[in-house]
Amino acid sequence: MQNILTWAGRIALLAVLLVCLQGALDPLYDAARWAPPHDAVMHVIYGYLLTVLSILALPKVKPWAIGGVFIALGVGLETAQAMGWVSGTFQLKDLAANLGGVIAALAPMSLAKRKAR
């Protein structure tokens, strides 16, 4: 499993490096075209901050459990919107952005554990 994660990390690193290099060298590169909508950015930030601050506030609760709660809460809220129980509309991108924020909060802890081995 560790070998798979190592190779997945290498492939992701190469992809990000190639995108960065293309953006740096292309004089016609349009960064605004790739920027996510403000609403999605807000969902990522909230997912990240709620996860990190909950981990700090609840030191006896496992971080993965906290992340799971916020993912479940995001799914629940989006489902409630789809059913018309709360205001707003169901948007898969909002759910993905929430998930991205939670993963961004938990990933460094996972990587730190992996490095400690």
pLDDT tens across 31-64, in order? Answer: 788 778 888 999 999 999 999 999 999 999 999 9
Whether 113 shows a pLDDT value over 80: the answer reads: no
Tokens of 76: 């629940």
Confidence of residue 1 (pLDDT cuts 50, 70, 90): low
Contact 35, 89 (CB under 8 A): no
Tell me if 81 sits within 8 A of 46, measured CB to CB: no
* 55-103 per-position pLDDT tens digit: 999 999 999 999 999 999 999 999 999 999 998 888 899 999 999 999 9
% pLDDT > 90, the chain: 57
Listed residue (110, 100, 117) closest to 49, CA to CA: 100
Q: Average per-residue pLDDT in the chain?
A: 89
According to the model, what pLDDT value does residue 65 have? 97
Q: How far is CA 18 from the centre of its chain?
A: 21
- Asked if residue 115 has pLDDT above 80, the reply is no
